[in-house]
């Protein structure tokens, strides 16, 4: 499976991006979905991590060889990502399928409270790759939702 592809990162870099500490032994690649465990960035690997989902990695980190101590994350962007085969409607909530992670991450329709992203397009015939919208502020889980 190809890694998720970042198609658009939100407007103002100062508002839509932030850096998070990463443990020296942790691998993170650009395009990976990232959550926060403790105070460090880790690859998202469970649907129940929706409350700590922090964004999409814009920079990576190679374990034990990388001089960087932080990764930069996009909090608002559109990405192309693998999905469980099916039809999707623009605006439909999506969550992690099983315990997929990293390059192998796959999303599936979410009717519950574990939404991580929303379909950015409608596909009336079955697809296995979809453009989705990530918006950490709209999720209102990791941060307090902005005032209206």
What pLDDT is stored for residue 143 in this prediction? 57
Distance CA 118, CA 132 (A): 5
Within a domain: 17 = yes
Distance CA 1, CA 148 (A): 39
Within a domain: 146 = no
* Parent domain of 128: 77-139
- What is the percent of the chain where pLDDT is above 90? 50
Mind listing the pLDDT tens digit for each residue in 89-121? 999 999 998 878 888 889 999 977 889 999 999
Band the pLDDT of 137: cuts 50, 70, 90: confident
Distance CA 15, CA 74 (A): 9
Residues 10 and 69 in one domain: yes
Residues 63 and 90 in one domain: no
Within a domain: 85 = yes
- Helices and strands counted in the chain (H then E): 2, 11
Specify the pTM. 0.83
Question: Number of folded domains in the chain?
Answer: 2
- Compute the C-alpha angle 95/2/140, nearest 5°: 25
Query: What are the residues facing 129 on neighbouring strands?
Result: 82
């Amino acid at each position: 499976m190809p890694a998720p592809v970042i198609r658009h990162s939100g407007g103002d870099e100062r508002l839509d991006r932030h850096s998070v500490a990463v443990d020296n032994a942790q691998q993170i690649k650009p395009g990976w979905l990232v959550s926060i465990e403790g105070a460090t960035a880790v690859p998202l690997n469970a649907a129940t991590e929706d409350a700590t989902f922090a964004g999409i990695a814009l920079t990576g980190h190679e374990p034990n060889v990388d001089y960087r101590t932080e990764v930069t994350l996009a909090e608002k962007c559109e990405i192309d990502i693998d999905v469980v085969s099916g039809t999707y409607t623009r605006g439909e909530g999506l969550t992690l399928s099983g315990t997929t992670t990293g390059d192998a991450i796959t999303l599936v329709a979410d009717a519950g409270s574990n939404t991580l992203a929303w379909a950015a397009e409608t596909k009336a015939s079955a697809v296995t790759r979809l453009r989705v919208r990530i918006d950490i502020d709209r999720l209102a889980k990791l941060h307090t939702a902005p005032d209206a």
